[in-house]
Amino acid sequence: MTASRPSAALSPIPDPKAGPPPTAVPPFAVISGAQVQHILQGRERQIMELIEATYHLHSVGESVNPPSYFLRFPDRPTARIIALPASIGGQARVDGLKWISSFPDNVQAGIPRASAVLILNDHDTGYPFACMESSIISATRTAAMAASAAERLSTGHRIRPSRVGFFGTGLIARYIHTFLTAAGWSFDEIGVHDICADSAAGFHGYLQAADETTKITVHGSPEQLIRSSDLLVFATVASRPHITDPAWFDHNPLVLHVSLRDLAPEILLASTNVVDDVEHCLKADTSPHLAEQLTGNRDFLTGTLHDVTTGRTALPHDRPVVFSPFGLGVLDLALGKHVYDEAARTGQLHVIDDFFHETRRYG
């Protein structure tokens, strides 16, 4: 193993009669979670800009983002592993796959629920050229998208929320709080609710350390949290809707429905609904998918975040606004390529020598 990607030697001027030079197999690098975190930490605003630019590319057709593939297990019904293949154009020009598992029982064992790797493939040869730890990338792109949506959906349409409530208190909630803060949000009150009291207490402790001046309250019931929040962040592991009463949202909050399966269809039907991508979001029994099944149509959807950002869709003032992002593989790719480029630029790539061994067709 070498510490950095070998630099290319200067080549002689090619003979035009000799034909194109042979295509080289790219070196293969492994990037650890520690490296990923070091490269991304403290760059929240830059990451938000990257995610917004990538989402724009996707929205105008500069990407390939097939449906996600869910591997489920009859003997472990709460667990799943998801494959998110994607390809992104623009400056990144990279293909790849995120392979992310969600095993909720891990939390009781004292390890994180989610684990993931991201594979990057070379645009010209298709060869994989990097494998990196991706739970941090996944959490980062999710939080960046959520913070960006909070800004876009509150600007010019409603009073900026001053009371935020977190329903679910794991890694994603922590990252979203970090990105909201980095984006300039401040709150008079922060509410917390989790079905696990220890998790709620742990997140309360994190918030106290991060913000010593804001009032932080752990709420004993979902209704208390929802009614006391202008901005709601759902970041749970719910597999089916557990919030069913539309009356709890009568104060018209902005809802970041990141975990996608918390809200009953009746709540969505009484709200303004914005998604990141219509076809991706209305699958796999998400709350919007259940609303489509209930009504037999998609009329309850107001549009996409891109529609709102570009002014094609206006948001009403008299209903809750629910943003339901499925999470797009192209965002993981773009952020992963950024991490790779930074690691290469700073000489931190760990290249596996001779990873691809059979590189000659006839030996």
Q: For position 183, what pLDDT does the model report?
A: 93
Q: For position 363, what pLDDT does the model report?
A: 75
**How would residue 317 be classed by pLDDT, with cut points 50, 70 and 90?**
confident
Return the CATH number of 24-137+330-352, one of 3.30.1780.10, 3.40.190.150, 3.30.450.40, 3.50.50.60: 3.30.1780.10
Per-residue exposure over 269-300, b if at least 16 CB sit within 10 Å of its own CB, e if not: eebbbbbbbeebbbeeebbbbbbbeeeeeeeb
Q: Which residue type is seen at 17? A: K
Residue 128: which of 100, 83, 94 has the closest Cα? 94
Instruction: For tokens 């913070």, name the residue.
Output: 147
- Residues 221-233, mean pLDDT to the nearest whole number: 97
Burial class (CB in 10 A: 0-12, 13-18, 19+), 157: middle
pLDDT at 18 over 80: no
Q: For position 159, what pLDDT does the model report?
A: 73
Q: For position 211, what pLDDT does the model report?
A: 87
pLDDT at 9 over 50: no
pLDDT at 113 over 50: yes
67: left (phi over 0), alpha (psi -120 to 50) or beta: beta
- How many alpha carbons lie under 13 Å from residue 131 in its C-beta half-sphere? 11
Tell me the pLDDT of the chain averaged across its residues. 92
Return the CATH number of 139-324, one of 3.40.50.720, 3.40.1190.20, 3.10.450.100, 3.30.420.40: 3.40.50.720
d(CA 294, CA 304): 21
> 61-97 pLDDT, tens per residue?
999 999 999 999 999 999 999 999 999 988 889 999 9
C-beta separation of 28 from 349 below 8 A: no
Residue 173, both tokens: 């909630």
Q: For position 22, what pLDDT does the model report?
A: 59
Q: Does this chain's domain 24-137+330-352 share its CATH topology with 139-324? A: no
> 180-198 pLDDT, tens per residue?
999 999 999 999 999 999 9
**How would residue 158 be classed by pLDDT, with cut points 50, 70 and 90?**
low
d(CA 94, CA 22): 21
Strand pairing category for 114-121 and 94-102: antiparallel
- Residues 111-137, mean pLDDT to the nearest whole number: 96
> 237-282 pLDDT, tens per residue?
998 999 999 999 999 999 999 999 999 999 999 999 999 999 999 9
Residue 328: which of 31, 2, 63 has the closest Cα? 63
Residue 124: which of 190, 194, 26 has the closest Cα? 26
pLDDT at 19 over 70: no
Q: For position 188, what pLDDT does the model report?
A: 95
Q: What is the SS3 assignment for the chain?
A: CECCCCCCCCCCCCCHHHCCCCCCCCCEEEECHHHHHHHHCCCHHHHHHHHHHHHHHHHCCCEECCCCEEEEECCEEEEEEEEEEEEECCCCCEEEEEEEEECHHHHHHCCCCEEEEEEEECCCCCCEEEEEECHHHHHHHHHHHHHHHHHHHHCCCCCCCCEEEEECCCHHHHHHHHHHHHCCCCCCEEEEECCCHHHHHHHHHHHHHHCCCCEEEECCCHHHHHHCCCEEEECCCCCCCCECCHHHHCCCCEEEECCCCCECHHHHHCCEEEECCHHHHCCCCCHHHHHHHHHCCCCCEEEEHHHHHCCCCCCCCCCCEEEECCCCHHHHHHHHHHHHHHHHHCCCCEEECCCCCCCCCCC
pLDDT at 1 over 80: no
**How would residue 2 be classed by pLDDT, with cut points 50, 70 and 90?**
very low
Q: For position 91, what pLDDT does the model report?
A: 85
Percent of the chain with pLDDT over 70: 93
pTM: 0.90
- The domains of the chain are located at 24-137+330-352, 139-324
